[in-house]
Amino acid sequence: MTKINAFQLRKTIPFEEFDYTLLTNALSSYSGVRQKINELLKAGIITRVKKGLYTFGPEYNQKPVCKEVLANLIYGPSCISLEYALSYHGLIPERVDTITSVTPKRDKEFQTPLGNFTYRYLGADKYPHGIEQVWIDQNHPVLMASQEKAVCDYIVLNKIEDDTNILEFLESDLRIDEQNWKQFNPNVLRKLNKYYRNKNIENILEAL
């Protein structure tokens, strides 16, 4: 039985995150590719995030695994939003461990060896608006909600009542203080609310 050369595999696959197609291409010179994949998993050379999606194991990583890229790949179409995006944009003080995303597909939650990933359903009329491509580093572009979209998604998906003092709610529930919510761009919020049609977003606009 031919032993897999982990070093050579690392040279063939330059990224920490990769799918089944890239992995099978890298193993194409071996017979019994599926058996070889199982050997790699048992040896800890690779880790299965979910069916068809892998990373290199901790001892074989050359760089940190980009969990934000995994969030885009695990369940799609999707974009990172809600608490995680608000934390990424520096609007809430807490570090958020679970990566939260929105999707036009049904709700889903994945518990993986790399952490937890949550996906919330957002109607197709709202989902595509306000998505940005951000670079986590020079090799990892990620679909992320703008800070305005992230707060709109949070308001809509948490079904906040129209008569709520929305700014007090944002401060008490998400701990977005006044200086931070003043960073919201009124023009962007106004454009988004053409699709969201939400009274609480109108209230934020009035306050701004």
Domain holding 34: CATH number? 1.10.10
Specify if 155 maps to a domain. yes
Q: Which domain holds residue 153?
A: 67-207
Based on the fold, state whether residues 162 and 178 are members of the same structural domain: yes
Specify if 116 maps to a domain. yes
Number of domains in the chain: 2
Of the listed ranges 57-61, 105-109, 140-144, the one predicted with least confidence: 57-61
pTM for this model (two decimals): 0.90
Segment 90-130, tens digit of pLDDT:
998 878 889 999 999 999 999 999 999 999 999 999 999 99
d(Cα 104, Cα 82) in Å, to the nearest integer? 14
Specify if 179 maps to a domain. yes
Give residue 19's pLDDT.
95
| pLDDT (mean) for 172-181 | 82
| pLDDT (mean) for 151-168 | 87
Q: What is the DSSP string of 45-104?
A: SEEEEETTEEEE-GGG-SS---HHHHHHHHSSS-EE-HHHHHHHTT-SSSPP-SEEEEES
